[in-house]
């Protein structure tokens, strides 16, 4: 007979065994009621790793750990665990007489890609597993048909992608328990879930539609007037959100999103930078514009590199790429803070901006803080364990199932402020452009009066004049003024610069020239007087000018103020030069005397001919211009234009008529030989 202590020990051991068996039997299998559904929310058998045998109904998984299906495995003791893992659950169908003809299972949410097995048979998958993994950005509920209703084992093979720098390390696997039922009941439940998901996205879809509308209108505005660069940057900023949504709908793979999505987001960041340049009136500062351009290039370059790092993380050795992903975030976050620099510069300079533009600056600051801040805090979150980022991104309210976040509010207010600011800016720009165009038309009208399009007619001379401004109003000018006794006074010049200031200077010069011609016909005296008139009115520029007087008998006098020498019969005429007009008081101009024989062509051009530039950068040059100088004025100008016009082009040719020369000789009773012929 056993001692009392031994009996007590045996008794307690037996009770413990019975208790263990009882507890094991107290984990009932899921029960499927006829026509209903059953949530498989009890503990599942779980194991990290991968083995095809684990899908079998007969596999013994008693040694596996138990895992709740309502939270990812990273939050249940397997932090930073990626790769393959398996879930298993035994299913009993009772009573068999009331069971539906077939079974289906609804998987609400699993990270990232997975396969579903029923009694060892693959019944479906979501995404693709390695070696060429594809997982979805949106994880919609998925239905898998299991076939005839019968007891069995439901196994789920999950593959978790390697962690990125912004992951917390607590992800992986199931996030909600699967639901078992008849195909009809499961379809109804799936529709309800999808409807609820769509309803919860109403606000997001509405904002996306608003962004798309703004992007389209801004882009159409830019197409209408390509000079409104602010409209183009507005379109780029507003197009990001709808483009990302389209990208998800087109191919919602997370690997694609990590690549193309990042590039799309970089376009939005760059567009915001240049929008702020325009709206804060910083675009005219070359240093700030150059610095902004460099930052924009850095942002684009870093986002282009990011997809390759993502592909590296999917390789056999992801660790170096994960470190590189974390390191890359530092310069990217740094350059993404540049909008704060632009806003700070505008504040420091006390820019005179209206309330709308300052609202844009303030909202851009807040929106960027609320967007970049949480993203920065999430970098390396599984190492730092900082949870402030998710807290900042948490909804502050839920309206009809739609979560409202601070970022959405700030982003929407920023978009509305940008739309209003761009509208006001564009309206003001259009008014200013209309005013300038009116002034330019008026200046062009004045210029056409002073420099007529019709060919001047002077008895005894054949004259051709071609004027091709590079813009609507140019800085070149020429004048042909008949003088007494059959002489002619010709002038050609070039005002530095273009547009309205150059046109106004041309008007002043031509008016001065016409007035002076009534008092003196000396080219040197006219240039001296014009130089005195231009002092202090050049605004840092200058004017080249050449004045020529030709008598009826061919005797010619020429004075040059820094202009290109004329050509006679294809050869450059040696003329003593002088300073351009308006540079120095008391400038003196020498006169060169020569004789122009009958039928000899004198050609005068501006530097727009010599400096015509081809697409490869080659200049037309002096040699080609000399070779062209014997051609007609129209031909010379056309050749320069075709070669590559960059500046105003003016060509003036004069030829003395042989008949006029003979009449002059008879009248003078002389047979003198012109200087150009005497050389021969």
Which CATH number do you get for residue 235?
A: 1.20.1070
pLDDT(375) > 70: no
Q: Do residues 167 and 209 both lie within one domain? A: no
Say which DSSP state 472 is in: S
The residue among 8 and 196 whose pLDDT is bigger is 196
| 531 part of a folded domain | yes
Domain end (from 197, 223, 256): 197
| Greatest extent of the chain over all pairs of C-alpha atoms, in Å | 171
Q: Do residues 517 and 405 both lie within one domain? A: no
In this predicted model, what pLDDT tens digit does every residue of 243-276 receive, in sequence order? 888 877 766 556 556 667 778 888 888 888 888 8
pLDDT(239) > 60: yes
Q: Do residues 237 and 108 both lie within one domain? A: no
Domain end (from 130, 163, 197): 197
Q: Do residues 394 and 373 both lie within one domain? A: yes
**What does the pLDDT average to over 506-516?**
87
**Which range scores top for mean pLDDT: 19-28, 332-341, 366-375, 650-659?**
650-659
**Tokens 């490869």, residue located:** 616
pLDDT at 621: 92
pLDDT at 345: 87
pLDDT at 132: 82
The residue among 409 and 307 whose pLDDT is bigger is 409
Q: How far is CA 5 from CA 9, 15, 154, in A?
A: 6, 15, 47
**What does the pLDDT average to over 428-445?**
73
**What does the pLDDT average to over 282-303?**
89
606 pLDDT band, cuts 50/70/90, is very high
**What does the pLDDT average to over 170-198?**
89
pLDDT(61) > 60: yes
pLDDT(373) > 90: no
378 pLDDT band, cuts 50/70/90, is low
Kindly state the tokens that stand for 472: 């609507």
Element (H, E) at 147: strand 142-148
| 15 part of a folded domain | no
**What does the pLDDT average to over 172-191?**
91
pLDDT(355) > 50: yes
Q: Do residues 419 and 336 both lie within one domain? A: yes
**Which range scores top for mean pLDDT: 153-157, 182-186, 188-192, 460-464?**
153-157
Q: Do residues 239 and 337 both lie within one domain? A: yes
Q: How far is CA 297 from CA 273, 293, 416, in A?
A: 11, 6, 27
Which CATH number do you get for residue 65?
A: 2.60.120.260
Q: Do residues 402 and 319 both lie within one domain? A: yes
**Which range scores top for mean pLDDT: 205-219, 472-486, 622-636?**
622-636
**Which range scores top for mean pLDDT: 49-53, 352-356, 585-589?**
49-53
The residue among 172 and 450 whose pLDDT is bigger is 172
Bridge partners, residue 46, by sequence: 65, 87
pLDDT(368) > 50: yes
Domain end (from 144, 168, 197): 197
pLDDT(650) > 70: yes
Least confident range from 216-230, 433-447, 601-615: namely 433-447
> Mean pLDDT for the chain?
80
Q: Do residues 503 and 361 both lie within one domain? A: no
Which CATH number do you get for residue 459?
A: 3.60.40.10
pLDDT(604) > 90: yes
The residue among 365 and 293 whose pLDDT is bigger is 293
| 20 part of a folded domain | no
Nearest to 244 by CA among 232, 258, 234, 233: 258
pLDDT(672) > 50: no
616 lies in which domain range?
A: 455-678
> In 440-584, which ranges are E strands?
461-468, 476-482, 488-495, 543-550, 555-561, 567-568, 571-572
| 79 part of a folded domain | yes
Q: Do residues 178 and 230 both lie within one domain? A: no
Q: Do residues 527 and 542 both lie within one domain? A: yes
pLDDT at 252: 54
Q: Do residues 153 and 210 both lie within one domain? A: no
pLDDT(674) > 60: no
Which percentage of the chain shows pLDDT scores above 70? 80
Backbone angles phi, psi at 614, to 5 degrees: -75, 170
With a threshold of 0.85, does the pTM exceed it? no
In this predicted model, what pLDDT tens digit does every residue of 62-81 receive, in sequence order? 999 999 999 999 999 998 89
pLDDT(394) > 90: no
| 3 part of a folded domain | no
**Which range scores top for mean pLDDT: 13-27, 111-125, 531-545?**
111-125
Least confident range from 314-328, 336-350, 399-413, 624-638: namely 314-328
Q: Do residues 188 and 204 both lie within one domain? A: no
Q: Quick one: angle between helices 286-313 and 319-335, nearest 10?
A: 160
| 64 part of a folded domain | yes
Structurally, how many domains does the chain consist of? 3
Whole-angstrom Cα distance, residue 408 to residue 410?
6
Rg (Cα) of the chain, in Å, rounded? 43
> In 360-515, which ranges are E strands?
397-399, 402-404, 461-468, 476-482, 488-495
Backbone angles phi, psi at 560, to 5 degrees: -130, 130
405 CB contacts (<8 Å, ≥6 apart)?
A: 393, 394, 395, 396
88 pLDDT band, cuts 50/70/90, is very high
pLDDT at 107: 94
| 442 part of a folded domain | no
| 132 part of a folded domain | yes
Nearest to 295 by CA among 263, 347, 332, 325: 332
**Tokens 């202009």, residue located:** 563
Q: For the chain, how far is it from start to end, CA to CA, in angstroms?
A: 155
pLDDT(33) > 50: no
């Amino acid at each position: 007979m056993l001692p009392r202590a031994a009996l007590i020990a045996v008794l307690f051991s037996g009770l413990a065994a019975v208790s263990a068996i009882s507890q094991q039997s107290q984990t009932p299998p899921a029960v499927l009621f006829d026509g209903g559904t059953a949530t498989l929310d009890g503990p599942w058998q779980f194991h990290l790793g991968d083995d095809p045998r684990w899908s079998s109904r007969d596999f013994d998984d008693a040694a596996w750990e138990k895992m709740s299906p309502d939270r990812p495995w990273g939050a249940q003791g397997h932090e930073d665990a990626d790769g393959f893992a398996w879930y298993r659950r035994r299913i009993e169908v009772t009573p068999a007489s009331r069971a539906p003809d077939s079974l289906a299972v609804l998987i609400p949410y699993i990270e990232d890609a997975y396969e579903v097995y029923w009694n060892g048979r693959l019944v479906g998958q979501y995404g693709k597993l390695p070696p060429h993994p594809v997982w979805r950005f949106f994880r919609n509920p998925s239905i898998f048909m299991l076939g005839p209703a019968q007891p069995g084992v439901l196994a789920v093979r999950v593959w978790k992608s390697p962690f990125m720098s912004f992951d917390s390390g607590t992800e992986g696997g199931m996030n909600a328990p699967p639901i078992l039922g008849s195909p009809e009941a499961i379809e109804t439940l799936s529709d309800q879930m999808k409807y609820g998901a769509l309803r919860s996205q109403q606000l997001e879809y509405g904002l996306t539609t608003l962004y798309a509308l703004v992007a389209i209108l801004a882009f159409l505005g830019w197409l209408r007037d390509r000079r409104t660069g602010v409209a183009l940057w507005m379109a780029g900023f507003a197009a990001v959100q709808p483009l990302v949504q389209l990208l998800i709908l087109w191919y919602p793979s997370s690997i694609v999103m990590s690549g193309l999505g990042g590039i799309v987001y970089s376009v939005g960041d760059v567009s915001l930078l240049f929008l702020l340049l325009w709206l804060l009136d910083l675009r005219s500062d070359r240093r700030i514009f150059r610095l902004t351009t460099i930052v924009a290039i850095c942002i684009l370059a870093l986002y282009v590199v990011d997809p390759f790092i993502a592909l590296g993380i999917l390789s056999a050795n992801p660790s170096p790429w994960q470190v590189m992903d974390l390191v890359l975030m530092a310069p990217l976050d740094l350059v993404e803070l540049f909008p704060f620099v632009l806003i700070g510069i505008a504040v420091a300079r006390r820019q005179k901006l209206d309330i709308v533009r300052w609202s844009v600056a303030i909202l851009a600051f807040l929106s960027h803080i609320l967007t970049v801040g949480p993203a920065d805090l999430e970098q390396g979150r599984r190492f730092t364990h900082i949870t402030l980022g998710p807290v900042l991104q948490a909804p502050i309210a839920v309206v009809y199932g739609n979560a409202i976040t601070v970022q959405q509010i700030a982003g929407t207010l920023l978009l509305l402020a940008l739309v209003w600011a761009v509208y006001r800016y564009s309206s003001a720009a259009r008014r200013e452009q209309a005013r300038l165009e009116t002034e330019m038309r008026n200046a062009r009208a004045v210029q056409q009066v002073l420099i007529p399009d019709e060919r001047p007619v002077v008895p005894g001379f054949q004259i051709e004049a071609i004027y091709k401004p590079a813009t609507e109003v140019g800085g070149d000018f020429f004048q042909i003024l008949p003088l007494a006794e059959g002489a002619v006074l010709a002038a050609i010049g070039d005002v530095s610069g273009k547009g309205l200031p150059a046109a106004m200077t041309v008007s002043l010069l031509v008016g001065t020239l016409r007035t002076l011609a009534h008092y003196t016909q000396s080219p040197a005296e006219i240039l001296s007087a014009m130089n005195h008139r231009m002092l202090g009115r050049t605004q840092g520029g200058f004017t080249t000018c050449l004045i020529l007087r030709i008598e009826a008998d061919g005797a010619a006098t020429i004075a040059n103020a820094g202009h290109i020498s004329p050509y006679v019969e294809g050869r450059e005429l040696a003329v003593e030069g002088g300073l351009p007009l308006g540079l120095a008081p008391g400038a003196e101009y020498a006169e060169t005397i020569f004789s122009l024989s009958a039928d000899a062509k004198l050609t005068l051009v501006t530097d727009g001919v010599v400096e015509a530039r081809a697409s490869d950068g080659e200049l037309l040059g002096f040699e080609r211009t000399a070779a062209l100088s014997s051609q007609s004025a129209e031909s010379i100008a056309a050749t320069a234009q075709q070669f590559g016009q960059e500046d105003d082009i003016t060509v003036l040719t004069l030829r003395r008529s042989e008949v006029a020369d003979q009449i002059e000789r008879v009248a003078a009773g002389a047979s003198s030989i012109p200087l150009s012929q005497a050389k021969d």
